[in-house]
Structure 1
């Protein structure tokens, strides 16, 4: 059953369609209605329908403007336009916005039903194609030639010189050209242990040849639900197929599977960093939404920093892995960009030292138990190597230098708390055995980890405070939006939305609405301004939409609210 949102400014039209169409028989569940474009866009953000049926002529935001907003934020949603204007200009706009279907007014119930069934068939076919286990298995056998895969993996697992990159790119016909690159990692948000534990032979499909409970009877039975098969290899490969299709559509680069994850290598000729960053984040979000919609499970994507030569690919790959690790803090089923959560420089760390990088990553996003395990592993390696006392002291000193970098970057409080002790290299000579050294390092790391966590929480609060201060100063601007706020803060909208909701327990849209409505209440109680003047003062260019929003928020029209305030 597909979820559908019905949008029309005429109440009798909405009620008539709800009454006359047997929605469930067409394979749909009407999860909500809206009477104007702005209300519909908010409903889409909240309800996430599969299909939106909307009138073309509506107040505040017309059907095409609504469609444009949906396409920008939710590219996988199907859109059906109801219109009485069969004009060339409209047709051009509809084609540009990739409108799926439109119905010309006046229309009969059967005409709309025919269009609904056509869209449902299209969605069934798309989903069947995404979930067809047999097709995926065949594609899996014939895709990713071994030599090409090994070479691509070598780009970010070791340093490859420019000559080798150029030579192998030519041999394997890989478009590894551009003035800037990004590496991103897409990880399943489901247990991946089966990926490494599976036997080499192909699994039997017989237990899974059954119809998915989430699909309709019209879908072929061989189009299995990947979520139900439990085969993580096919789930990962299905994500790869979706990513490859979307990346190819946007001509962004190419994708591959590496270490049970999908890796995206973005290439761009532009000398400016921002275009490739913006394009990559948009593509990753489209991939995330497509996986959630078609495959019925979720993925998290970590986006690394921009580099200008693939010789720096190991750094970019580790930056993407570090971003992915932040899902422990920010949550899964999202796109996390390393530039949003950390201020990183290529020269900041020596990324050839994988143990150093792993320890630092553990300090930033790991748990106390993971930290103890990490140090046990690091010191166990020392004991097994039977190194000299001098080499042992150098090894511990290198660990302390890495910790000093982390303390410095974590802020003054952390640097002050552990900096002096970290700088006491003389202490290294006093250790009588490795266990004593390990416990001392563990205490330092634990204190440093606590300071990092506290500073991160403080940073979140400061970020939200800066955002609310900016909104307080600009709420009367009718163009104020989350995009404007994020531009002021120099962060991405996805990262900001997550932090803002976590700290305030409400979305940014609801916060802005509440602020404007409470300000409007103050003006209604304390001034004799007319409604349109108050609307302008609180950021509404359309007084009718202000009155509509105010009544929806307060339960009274502005006039009724003022009258009651005067009576009280």
Structure 2
């Protein structure tokens, strides 16, 4: 059983998590709960849990501060964070502490079970990595190569080539990150398969490292062809376990004292696995992704907890694409998200968090405009959870496209409406949005000047004039409902009340206040003559 510590300042959440899950069924046992950060650290130091599930926001010492303090002494500890929709900024900070994932409140039973199953596999693999059998010659060789790496990384000399028989002309480290539904027995079988192909045929040595398996090989790979060939061989060897594998190779070296350098290069490269685009071994001498030092042209940092402007803009574009039920537009926006978010965020967890923010903002707008569709927020919850389970950016993009296109179909997408009709209906549904012809042109994939001409030919009015008329008609409805003038101005997209006054008078012939007063007087007169109204109907 793997030990679990539950941390949340709300007793109801601690009790709920303890009782709704059959922990033992998934190889876990709740050994303690804590209601504060300090209590959590004390429990952790005493019980050494395998997994800590912790609220990201707590009074006093936050969940992030707890993780940071524990990480100083236990760098390999596992954490799941509990987060509300409003806590994305905190979640972004948590990526630097290497959390295993996060769960949205209120916690869904199926989501936490999926996380437990995933983490259980990781814990099984880690226990396997630490298992050593001194009597087994293969395990002994593995232990020796790990000691060689350790000594080299510590700057100590080593003569392990004599005990290992490593009188090779060159040495190269290849690291494999393997994802599959494996228990301990299957994991051992998979490792033995590689040992048969490399150790027993004197092609190299198989060893374990913190997140997978490593190969020390003497037939080095220096070209894409040899990198592809070895990758294909490894995939074939492991095919029966249906694995998803990522691999990286450090440079070939001529001395065992330099093996650690090859290992470090491979490990650094494998850390960028999320941005891998090809199914082969990534080489140390290939172009590496370099993050933008300026955070991208035109991008601003967070101010007062608000999102970067680009993420808000991307969320608006995605909302527009979903609202017009256009799969083609969704794909364009997803492509733009990839192009603009990667240079700014560039690490796996930061990209995933930024992606989640854009999706959440877009879904919140979509849900507000389609309150009758409960499936929108249900899809949102599933989609956000899936974001954090994707292994590469390509996987993430494909998964998001699949979810969003299925949502479009449920919303009645795929119609043959013309662009103009879609555009008009979109404006009528969203008069309060900050609508600009240039942004809509991007969504519909048109040149903005050309789209403006098409729009005027179709409606007989310019885009801005048509938008003003739609907004004024909506304003009249809201004034009839009793809203105040400044509230109406904001609701229909006019930030400046005086500007709204001018527009309203231009199209209606009187000010909003005069219009509202006249309508109120008319309604009062109507209520004083109910009998006449009834006789008219009769």
TM over 0.5: no
TM-score, scaled to structure 2? 0.29
TM-score, scaled to structure 1? 0.27
